[in-house]
Amino acid sequence: MALPEILKKKVIARTRAFIVETLDLRFSNGVERQYERLPKVGNEAVIIVALSENAEIMLVKEYCAGFHEVRLSLPKGSAEAGETLERAACRELSEEIGYSAKNVHIVKELSLAPSHMGFTINVVFASDLYPNKLEGDEPERLELVRWPVSDVDQLISSPEFSEARAIAALTLCKSFFS
């Protein structure tokens, strides 16, 4: 399948976090359509499955503005300019849970909703954790929750743990748990 020809691209809205643009496209069969999308902006992002020496998954309770709720998830965040994904994962761990990792493995890049959004996040597995606290950019300290890896299926089915990216990350990292 060939990529459609972009006839016109226009930014129709802009906020601090998002750009919304329209794409006027012509497909190889001559059909023309207009799409709205959130194109990729900013730096790469990471979501980290961190495993403690006691075989615990390190989780955070954090405020989720989309639902105006506190929910359980995995540490995550954006890489800074010039920062590798591995370094970003270690920094985010230090900021969000007060630990860093000696071993970091990039597992897979995930797209979120590729039909409408250009955003991706990189799943990272981290182990050999050690205490290392850094000040983060959250408005208040996140709560660390340790979850036994032996109960990972219970975590995935828990109503408090519902973020698709976090569920996908855990599923992708199951092979690292043994």
Q: Are 125 and 49 in contact (CB under 8 A)?
A: yes
Percent of the chain with pLDDT over 90: 84
| Phi, psi angle pair for 151, to nearest 5° | -110, 30
d(C-alpha 140, C-alpha 26), whole Å: 48
Other beta carbons within 10 angstroms of residue 40's beta carbon come to 13
**pLDDT score of 7:** 97
Region 22-38 average pLDDT: 96
Q: Coil, strand, or helix at residue 88?
A: helix
d(C-alpha 103, C-alpha 64), whole Å: 29
pLDDT digits (tens, 9 = 90+) for 36-90: 999 988 899 999 999 999 999 999 999 988 889 999 999 999 999 999 999 999 9
Best CA proximity match to 93, nearest among 54, 124, 117: 124
